Amino acid sequence: MDEIFARAKSILVIWADDVDPENLPVFQETLQTKAKQANIAFENVQMLLDSRRATSSFDIILFGLVSKRDPPTNADLFNEFFRLLRPNGYLITHIEHTTQSQAVDHFKMCGFTSCNPLDTNSSFLIENKDDDVKKLGSLWLCQKPSFDVGYSVPLRNRGNSQTGQVSSTNETKKTWTMDDDDLIDTNDLLDDNDRKKPDVKNYDCGTSSTGVRKACKNCSCGLAQELEQEEHAAAKETVKSACGSCYLGDAFRCAGCPKRGLPPFKPGERVTVPNMSDV
């Protein structure tokens, strides 16, 4: 139980009108010490259905624990608790023994799995209850399953394969993956539009760029070499500098500069191709 509270990030405490108002802040304090990282919200049971809180927003819901007597239960209320809980979240409430089986039926119909009584009647959770209520009832812990009810899981429809030769390979599960079955098939997220590639020619580059062939970064087919030959041939044809800024780096050279491709140098200096890494 302690871990459940310690891990919780958000808790909802539902109280009914018969609560002694002084008990609420005290309860909150005690609860906060048990659930250090949790955000604790309080709501009057009458207001709950109207407030339409977000689905799956609480780790724990505590119902009717602060009041002296056990509140009446109804299906609508439990359905709402179920909706508000996160998958694997917990509902904790106190139930009279005489109405126990009916309550458990309610729980199950809403979709709660694993409903169990706790035998810790000394828990801080019910310290506000009358003694006779404590004697005639128990704390119950119900958990919402990890699958959201109503969430449809797509069925694989492979039909009968031609050959029946396809076999599953359970023995070959990679040890470094978590259960793949826990995940949706991400390919289902894509539609036909997604599978199309963009039309490169339609890219608006905002200038009058011609559609020049470009080699890939890790060109392994030889196009990069080919393009380079073409560019070098073109550059060789212009021998005279048009701007006089040849000695500055490529950032300042004009398009036809004979020194294009070389690092900057001092004016008048003879420049050779640096052979820094000619392996």
Q: Which stretch binds other proteins (CB under 8 A): 21-29, 65-73, 101-109, 255-263?
A: 255-263
Binding to other proteins, residues 234-253 (CB under 8 A): 235, 248-252
142 annotated as belonging to a binding site for a ligand: no
What does 113-149 look like in DSSP terms, one character per residue?
EEEEEE--TT-GGGTTS-HHHHHHEEEEEEE--SSPT
C-alpha 80: how far from chain center: 24
Closest approach of other proteins to the CB of residue 165, in Å: 6
Site string for other proteins, 150-179 (x = CB under 8 A): -x-x----x--xxx-xxxxx--x-x-x-x-
Spatial strand order in the sheet of 113-118:
39-44, 10-15, 58-63, 85-96, 137-143, 113-118
Q: Report the amino acid identity of residue 14.
A: I
Give Cα 33 to chain centroid, integer Å: 28
- What gap in Å lies between CA 142 and CA 108, rounded to an integer? 9
The residue count for binding other proteins (CB under 8 A) is: 72
Q: How far is the CB of 109 from other proteins (least distance, A)?
A: 20
Q: Can you read off the two tokens belonging to residue 278?
A: 């000619």
Distances (CA, A) of 106 to 110, 115, 147, 163, 175: 6, 11, 19, 49, 41
Q: Residue 46 or residue 277: which is nearer to other proteins going by CB? A: 277
Q: Of 6, 136, 219, 243, which one interacts with other proteins (CB under 8 A)?
A: 219
- Identity of the residue, 131 or 182, whose beta carbon is nearer to other proteins in the bound complex: 182
Q: Is 202 in the site for other proteins (CB under 8 A)?
A: no
Compute the distance between CA of residue 66 and CA of residue 44 in angstroms, rounded to an integer: 11
Q: Is 110 annotated as contributing to ligand binding?
A: no
- Asked if 262 touches other proteins (CB under 8 A), the answer is yes
Told to check if 256 binds other proteins by CB under 8 A, we report: no
246 annotated as belonging to a binding site for a ligand: yes
Q: Considering the complex, state which of residue 98 and residue 161 has its C-beta at the smaller distance from other proteins.
A: 161
Distance CA 123, CA 28 (A): 14
The nearest distance, CB 66 to other proteins, in angstroms, is: 26
Interaction with other proteins in 55-94: which residues (CB under 8 A)? 55-57, 86-87
List residues forming the annotated binding site for [2Fe-2S] cluster.
205, 216, 219, 221
